Structure 1
Amino acid sequence: MRAVVAERHGGPEVLTETDHPDPRPGPGGLLVRLAAAGINYKDLYEREGRAAPRAPFVPGSEGAGTVLATGTGVTGFRPGDRVAWCAAPASYAELVAVPARAAVRVPDDVSDTDAAASMLQGLTAHYLTTSTYRAAEGETALVHSAAGGLGQHLVRLLVRRGARVIGTVSAPGKVVAAEAAGAHHVIVRGGDPGELSRRVLDHTGGRGADVVYDGIGKDTFEAGLAALRPRGMFVLVGAASGPVPPFDPQSLAPRGSLFLTRPTLVDHATDPDELTARADDVFRWLREGVLKTVIGGRYGFDRAAAAHADLQSGTTTGKLLLQPGH
């Protein structure tokens, strides 16, 4: 089969398309022919060696496709089923070995590309807005990278709950995408963190946001804390700009008895029943138009390096997909 391989840790240039041995479905596993793989910041971190398997390796963990074979002990899936996943290593490949407990069935009225584009970010937006912090009507949420795939999902779900959303984007050209998702105010981030927090306070009459969703990390962490109301919740979702520097939890007290959490999808979808229930909601929201998949780019395996470079540049909007033969 053809696959994308990171021959070593480093920049996007380490990714190459090459022949790779076919995987086999082990006990409790599925062998799936890939239709599309999602490209995520997690893949970039692994490629760089921040959170990495040993090189060489096939990156990727999210995708959708059709079951070709099942391993021993598998129930609930059979060849021909369309499935999607967000926790199967080596997903940048024509054939992917997917643990059955990590797979969900894709409804007939949801396309493979929509399923691949919505698994990680859709499920993440689901647990962030239902389990991590359930925003109430009239509350204010600050959503960083509101034009990105996860950001747009968060904006839509928060607005659906009746929250007022302040979104941030990295460039003026992304304002329209954040507004289209429903953001009430959009701030173009600059180099002054103090200006960002001041603008949030201005939009909230000096009160501050009830919750901050931050997938950027180092560059926005301090500004987000300063933008919260007393007893507000800071949700650290990722580290696109780099990890947050060492932080003293004691400093949360004089800032207003703030809450700080770093949740992950793994701890909110380990149980297959919980995963299926969350995925069912996401697929239903897609059908109803509550969520919309915005595909920011489609890349063939031979352009995987370009896809990583584009995502890392901060110039993309929506979800990037890797598709064999595209």
Structure 2
Amino acid sequence: MAQAVRFYETGGPEVLRWETAEVGEPGPGEVRIRHEAVGLNFADTYFRTGLYPSALPAGMGVEAAGVIEAVGAGLTDFRPGDRVTYTGSPLGAYSTERVMPAEHLIRLPEEIPFETAASMTMRGLTTAYLLRRIHPLRAGDTVLLHAAAGGVGSLFTQWAKLLGVTVIGTVSSEAKAEIARANGCDHVVIYTREDVAERVREITDGKGVPVVYDSIGKTTYQSSLDSLARRGLLVCFGTASGPVPPIDAMQLVVKGSLFVTRPALADYIADPAERAELAGELFSHVAAGRIRVDINQRYVLPDAEQAHRDLESGRSVGTSVFVL
């Protein structure tokens, strides 16, 4: 019998329940997939708390990797036995198996283990669109990346170095600074004891950076704006500390005709061809060893409550995954 994590009300980690689940057979355009590993992402907490709305009761999780066990009528792109990974709706990845639309699946190369795929499909595709779609970065550019020791941060820094981009990364501690440096971060700013914008200006000879990548949100928004060069771009792609404050258009003018964008991964992988292109580039780097995926924490699905507590408290470092 299949099992899954579900929640019946929004709230803290205690609302998560591990229970038996009916799976059934796939309908037209669907597959039944047996999970081998499941991703743990900060976005999962947004659904649990209600920041991202969902109809209740609901499953939990948007990322996993596994093997197709059955396909629905008329489906020709996949067949039983195929190795796949995915990220995105509908909720329900925190499960041993599930039925889901085949349109969200990405074929997984044999060279990439299931645990690696489940720990980096969302983060890797996020990194891919940040570096390859948002802004035309060139070798020699310098950018600011918040949470440089995190899951996206670790992948981002390694990929940026392949492009010849200099990365200034922010972290909360010396231990995380060591992780950021190990991934190739050129300059590390420990924001708990240094002024981020001031350090960025020092590093860039007063000019600031053309792009800031900010997954923290509320607490870093102002320092991100203050770190930008004239006509610079602030990319707000996460809200770990809470939503960014309302944007004051005149502040953007005063600080140098700045730009702000709040992108979502879903809009960069909605087109199958674009998703395949981004995934192909990501997988080729990982398979060749040019980008290393370190899994720092492993959990089992019945311990989802503890996994969420670790994630939200900052006790977890880098990438985490549920193993089945």
What displacement does 1:47 show? 0.3
- Residue 155 of structure 2 contacts residue 291 of structure 2 at CA under 8 Å; is this kept in 1? yes
Other-structure match for 1:224: 224
Q: Which whole-Å deviations, capped at 9, do the CAs of 1:63-101 have from their partners, x for residues lacking one?
A: 100001111221221000010000142110111223211
- Residue 252 of structure 1 contacts residue 259 of structure 1 at CA under 8 Å; is this kept in 2? yes
- Residue 144 of structure 2 contacts residue 211 of structure 2 at CA under 8 Å; is this kept in 1? yes
What's the TM-score once normalised by structure 1's chain length? 0.95
The one-letter code matched in structure 2 to 1:80 is G
- Residue 9 of structure 1 contacts residue 48 of structure 1 at CA under 8 Å; is this kept in 2? yes
Tell me if 1:304 matches 2:300.
no
Other-structure match for 1:162: 164
CA distance in 1, matches of 2:176, 2:51: 28
Other-structure match for 1:181: 183
CA distance in 2, matches of 1:82, 1:310: 30
CA distance in 1, matches of 2:280, 2:167: 25
- Residue 27 of structure 1 contacts residue 71 of structure 1 at CA under 8 Å; is this kept in 2? yes
Other-structure match for 2:255: 255
What displacement does 1:303 show? 0.7
What displacement does 1:54 show? 2.7
DSSP-derived class of the 2:59 partner: coil
| Count of residue correspondences | 322
Q: Which whole-Å deviations, capped at 9, do the CAs of 1:242-269 have from their partners, x for residues lacking one?
A: 0011122232111101111111111111
Other-structure match for 2:215: 215
- Residue 293 of structure 1 contacts residue 318 of structure 1 at CA under 8 Å; is this kept in 2? no
What displacement does 1:169 show? 0.9
Other-structure match for 1:71: 72
Aligned-residue identity in percent: 39
The one-letter code matched in structure 1 to 2:11 is G
The one-letter code matched in structure 1 to 2:191 is R
- Supply the RMSD in Å over aligned alpha carbons: 1.4
CA distance in 1, matches of 2:37, 2:53: 22
Pick closer, same or farther for the CA change 1:6–1:30 going to 2, 3 Å: same
Pick closer, same or farther for the CA change 1:134–1:158 going to 2, 3 Å: farther
DSSP-derived class of the 1:277 partner: helix
CA distance in 1, matches of 2:147, 2:165: 17
Other-structure match for 1:288: 288
Query: Which range moves more in the overlay, 254-263 or 310-319?
Result: 310-319
The one-letter code matched in structure 1 to 2:105 is A
The one-letter code matched in structure 1 to 2:156 is L
Q: Please list, as runs of the form range in 1=range in 2, the aligned pairs for 1:29-48 lying within 5 A after superposition.
A: 29-48=30-49
Other-structure match for 2:264: 264
Pick closer, same or farther for the CA change 1:279–1:98 going to 2, 3 Å: farther
DSSP-derived class of the 1:242 partner: coil
DSSP-derived class of the 1:251 partner: helix
- Residue 23 of structure 2 contacts residue 99 of structure 2 at CA under 8 Å; is this kept in 1? no
What displacement does 1:191 show? 7.4
What displacement does 1:241 show? 0.3
The one-letter code matched in structure 2 to 1:301 is L
- Residue 32 of structure 2 contacts residue 98 of structure 2 at CA under 8 Å; is this kept in 1? yes
- Residue 115 of structure 2 contacts residue 323 of structure 2 at CA under 8 Å; is this kept in 1? no
What displacement does 1:271 show? 1.5
Other-structure match for 2:244: 244
Query: Which range moves more in the overlay, 287-296 or 16-25?
Result: 16-25
Other-structure match for 2:18: 17
Stretches of 4+ moved more than 6 A in 1? none
Query: Which range moves more in the overlay, 276-285 or 58-67?
Result: 276-285
The one-letter code matched in structure 1 to 2:124 is G
Other-structure match for 1:202: 202
CA distance in 2, matches of 1:25, 1:275: 24
- Residue 114 of structure 1 contacts residue 293 of structure 1 at CA under 8 Å; is this kept in 2? yes
